[in-house]
Amino acid sequence: MTGLPGVGKTTWLRQFEQAADRFRVVSVSADAFEADFSFALIDKVARAAGERAGVLAGVGEATGLEFSGVVRSLLSVLSRGTSGTRRLLVVIDNAQWIDDKSLRALRFVLGRLAFSGAGVVLSGHEPRTGEIAQEIFAAEPDAWARRQQIELAPLDARALRGYVSRVHGLEISLRLASRIRELSGGLPLYIDAVIAAMEPAPGETRSHWDSGVHLPARPGQAFAQGSADATPAVRHALEIAALLRDGVCAREVEAIAQCLGDTVDVEAAIAAGLLVRSAPGSVRPFHSLFAADIAEGLDAQRRIAILEAASAQVSNPHRALLCRLDAATARGDGLTADLLQRVRAAASAAEASGDPGRAIIYLRRAAMLADPAMRGELIVEACVLAGANFISPIVLDLLPELEALDPDPVRDLALLQTRQITGDVPWALAFVHELLAREPQHPDDTVLRMHITMMAVMVQLTTDDYTPVLGLLDDVRELAHRVQDEAMPLSDARLAVMPDAGQILLRATGLAVTAAARVRDLERVQREVDALSGLIANAEASPALADALTCRGGVYAGIGAVQAATADLEAANALAADGIVGWSLGHARVLLAYCWWLAGRTSEAGSMPEGAAVGALDSIDVSSRPLVFLLRAVLAAQAGDEDAYAENRRIAREVTVTDYDTFGAELELLAQVQHARMHGDAQAVLDALSPEALQGRWLAGRSIFTYRVDALAALGRAEEADRELAELHKHVGLDWSPIYGSMNWLEGRVAEAYDLPERALRAYRAAVRGADDAGAPAPRVRAQALSDAGRMQLSLGDAAGGARTLRQAAEQFLTLGARPAVRRALALIDDTDPAVLSGIESLSTREREIAMLVAQGRTNAQIAQSLYLATPTIAFHMRKVLAKLRLSSRRELSSVLA
């Protein structure tokens, strides 16, 4: 196993050793200071294997005879305690420092031991570690059953984000992960150092956009002197590749060198391990930190010369333009008219091809060269472009300069778009009203007013006061129709990237559906849904269409129209998969996963928020951030995973930017309710849904009160449960359909609370059939009804029928991943203690394997032979199994597992 310093090889070895519990592990680390001493490593191996005096006692200057003695001693030491069921595993870290005499002995000894199933793990740096591995393998190639090469690579930004989440318990954006990647080179050792020194934005426990997080200087690393002995030809190749960073064609390296009058030797640099091949025909420095050190060591004239030559020689126009801009920056040039024209053309092409981020890079680089007036214009242009494409977080660092510019209608729009995503709602509300109150002063005033009024809607939504929203949306649509009717060309080209009037109409109508539902204007909801459906049917694929589908799908989900909601949300997510992304992407993902969960598609529901969590902190859809993690908490509670539930609730609190609710409090309450139900705590369900807990909160639908009826019934409060159920009946078919249970199931719960078991059983069976649904009941609803029906059958004396029904319920709960519900259903069948069933889940893979073999009637000796373990090891595992299951004998274990 190989990898760069700091990539985690030693940590990997320790984990590997812990997993190798069936082997006799002998683990050592070679040392650079001992590389010149004969048999230094062999002595370490012997001592690690239990030979206190090592194998060198009495051995003087190594001779052939003494070498034989060392080999015999080492063979004897390593063979102790091994057998056909307990084989040897030798682990050597820092293998590049194995001394020559030790390597010679290892070749012989390991080659012999390999015939009896021994293994060896060599970990270290290339190329020496690979050469040593080859020598050991080549000595007895027929002895080794398998040879595997592993290279631990530095983490990219996405993997780094996951590492920080798992190891440090921090949720960071991909933007911040990219910044940390630049400093650490993706090496865990340096990532840990950066995270330890990272400071939050002043006055905050965390930065909403990670823009204010202060990162330390790049930590010292082991690559700085990597090219100290390089020849001039190798050095020249390194300088060119380091300055161009992400891989450059080897032929282009030679062409750039020829322009400079230099000689390069790319192959020699590759042979030395300083350059590595990336894409076919391309090379790059072996590590980004090494490249940064090389680039930083160049003087200004050398840097400029390489960049100018590269701008003329590289075939990639994007890279050529960046080289030209970097060369101009290094020279201290101003922004020439020709270069500005090239930048604008390249930015337009990038934006048209769906890469606005690249266009913004061009504009920002050009702004660094421009005079103050042109710099301000380019900054505004970059911010307008970012806002139009919902990627404003990447220009947040420009906010101070944007605020310092003189007021201007286009600059003001850019400022509103950029600053409002920081969560400063009072400022945004005041500023948008100020802009709308101004007299027309720009040739594109109607277009600007349309966009600003749309921004007013978005700001008003964040206040959680929906009263003015419908009026603002009417204004937006009136302005959009005026823009369409006037069909006037834009006087300011910077506004051309903004959504057109048709897209504004689509989005505004989608939000009108949401706003009408929020204020419970049912007649207007229907009118707006009809209008939106007409627009959607005739709309082309666009970010606005994705947002409109999400708005309609969200309202459908709130009223319990799950199939219609799923269709809309799957369509919105399909657009996102094609790169057509609106501002509602986070909601589209969470809502779709929620609908899948309702439909019993648990694995799909679980995978969606896992993926959504990666981008949640980078999206401008800030209100969806906590929803991603709250949905994960719901799924964890259903699965009975207490730790995951608590962790996701914690993260949801940490990533919350604004307090306004876009999901009708459903997920937060649902997570609490599912957690309480996981523990069978009906009172905790009532506490979560008490009038005091719900005071002042908006609920998108009435589905959550299903659980209130259930909890009251479980506590025997029949009359209260009956009243709650009667209230739900008033709304069924009017503005709501039950989705967490069926009305028949709830009738059964109330009947049971009144101690009417036959009536309850009839209601549960009707719920299983789906008698009050348009079609078959959802799997979750049917599983719950089956479980309660089986329980009623048992209480009425039908033991066989009840057991059959409960097994059906357990099977359905199992497919849903609802492990606590599985345990409860099975416990009812044979009165098994639920703690025993919980204990089965807590068994390790090895313990479960042994338990099943015991249940088949095998003895410890038979199990040991089949698993290649020692009999005492089997006995040890059996003691742990019985303790976890709270059992006292193998007979009890066999009975439980049956």
pLDDT tens per residue across span 35-49:
888 888 999 999 999
Across 588-611, average pLDDT: 89
pLDDT band at 877 (very low <50, low <70, confident <90, very high): confident
Beta strands in 143-247, from DSSP E residues, in sequence order: 151-152
Q: At what angle do helices 409-419 and 372-388 cross, to 10 degrees?
A: 50
pLDDT, residue 225, reads 59
Better-predicted residue by pLDDT, 807 or 839: 807
Burial (CB count within 10 angstroms: exposed 0-12, middle 13-18, buried 19+), residue 545 = buried
Nearest to 847 by CA among 826, 872, 828, 875: 875
pLDDT, residue 776, reads 64
Range scoring the smallest mean pLDDT among 266-280, 813-827, 863-877: 863-877
Q: Which two tokens stand for residue 466?
A: 């929906």
Flag whether pLDDT at 203 surpasses 70: no
pLDDT tens per residue across span 663-701:
765 788 999 999 999 889 999 999 999 999 888 777 877
pLDDT, residue 96, reads 93
Whole-number Å distance between alpha carbons of 800 and 784: 19
Question: What's the order of all strands across the beta sheet hosting 275-277?
Answer: 248-249, 282-285, 275-277
Q: CB 216: neighbour CB atoms within 10 A?
A: 13
Does residue 90 sit in helix, strand or coil? strand
Across 845-852, average pLDDT: 82
Dihedrals phi, psi of 55, to nearest 5 degrees: -120, 5
Q: CB 333: neighbour CB atoms within 10 A?
A: 12
Cα distances (Å, whole numbers) of residue 515 to 33, 86, 466: 72, 68, 7
Helix (H) or strand (E) holding 320, with range, is helix 317-331
pLDDT tens per residue across span 127-143:
899 999 999 999 999 88
Whole-number Å distance between alpha carbons of 274 and 407: 52
Across 95-104, average pLDDT: 92
Whole-number Å distance between alpha carbons of 735 and 687: 26
Q: Which two tokens stand for residue 139?
A: 């000595």
Per-residue exposure over 607-627, b if at least 16 CB sit within 10 Å of its own CB, e if not: ebbeebbbbbbbbbbbbbbbb
For residues 748 and 788, the answer to whether their CB atoms sit within 8 Å is yes
Q: Which two tokens stand for residue 674?
A: 């599912």
Q: Which two tokens stand for residue 685?
A: 């369900």
pLDDT, residue 664, reads 61
Query: DSSP of 450-514, one letter per residue?
Result: HHHHHHHHHHHHHTT--TTHHHHHHHHHHHHHHHHHH-PPPSSGGGGGS--HHHHHHHHHHHHHH
Across 298-305, average pLDDT: 94
Phi-psi region of 201 (alpha: psi -120 to 50; beta: other; left: phi over 0): beta
Q: Which two tokens stand for residue 776?
A: 């078959």
Across 434-459, average pLDDT: 92
pLDDT, residue 62, reads 45
pLDDT tens per residue across span 462-471:
887 888 999 9
Q: CB 245: neighbour CB atoms within 10 A?
A: 14
Question: Tokens 């689509």, residue?
Answer: 506
Does residue 261 sit in helix, strand or coil? coil
pLDDT, residue 838, reads 65
Cα distances (Å, whole numbers) of residue 238 to 91, 230, 258, 289, 752: 35, 9, 15, 13, 79
Q: Which two tokens stand for residue 225?
A: 């002197």
Range scoring the smallest mean pLDDT among 76-90, 527-541, 738-752: 76-90
Range scoring the smallest mean pLDDT among 45-59, 92-106, 811-825: 45-59
Beta strands in 558-691, from DSSP E residues, in sequence order: none
pLDDT, residue 63, reads 46
Per-residue exposure over 456-473, b if at least 16 CB sit within 10 Å of its own CB, e if not: bbbbbbbbeebeebbebb
pLDDT tens per residue across span 386-422:
999 988 888 988 999 999 999 999 999 999 999 988 8
Query: DSSP of 810-833, one letter per residue?
Result: HHHHHHTT-HHHHHHHHHHHH---
pLDDT tens per residue across span 467-519:
899 999 999 999 999 999 988 899 999 999 999 999 999 999 999 999 998 88
Percent with pLDDT over 90 in the chain: 52
Q: Give the end-to-end CA distance of the chain in Å, rounded to a whole number.
A: 44
pLDDT tens per residue across span 852-869:
888 888 999 888 887 777
> Pairing state of beta strands 23-29 and 87-93?
parallel
Whole-number Å distance between alpha carbons of 233 and 263: 5
Range scoring the smallest mean pLDDT among 434-438, 462-466, 741-745: 462-466
CB within 8 Å of 487: residues ≥ 6 apart: none
For residues 746 and 710, the answer to whether their CB atoms sit within 8 Å is yes
- What pTM was computed for the model? 0.80
pLDDT band at 775 (very low <50, low <70, confident <90, very high): low
For residues 794 and 819, the answer to whether their CB atoms sit within 8 Å is no
Mean residue pLDDT across the chain: 88
Question: Tokens 């080897």, residue?
Answer: 250
pLDDT band at 198 (very low <50, low <70, confident <90, very high): confident
Flag whether pLDDT at 61 surpasses 60: no
Flag whether pLDDT at 53 surpasses 80: no
| Dihedral sign computed on CA atoms, order 792, 794, 799, 803 | positive
Burial (CB count within 10 angstroms: exposed 0-12, middle 13-18, buried 19+), residue 20 = middle
Range scoring the smallest mean pLDDT among 267-271, 287-291, 770-774: 770-774
Nearest to 226 by CA among 295, 272, 185, 280: 272
pLDDT, residue 487, reads 85
Flag whether pLDDT at 659 surpasses 70: no
pLDDT, residue 280, reads 84
Whole-number Å distance between alpha carbons of 739 and 713: 19
Question: Tokens 């994007």, residue?
Answer: 318
pLDDT band at 754 (very low <50, low <70, confident <90, very high): very high
pLDDT band at 202 (very low <50, low <70, confident <90, very high): low
pLDDT band at 1 (very low <50, low <70, confident <90, very high): very high
The 8-class DSSP code of residue 868 comes to T
| Helix and strand counts by DSSP (H, E) for the chain | 45, 8
Q: Which two tokens stand for residue 644?
A: 């995951």
Whole-number Å distance between alpha carbons of 630 and 665: 10
Helix boundaries (H) for 58-187: 64-79, 100-114, 128-139, 157-168, 174-184
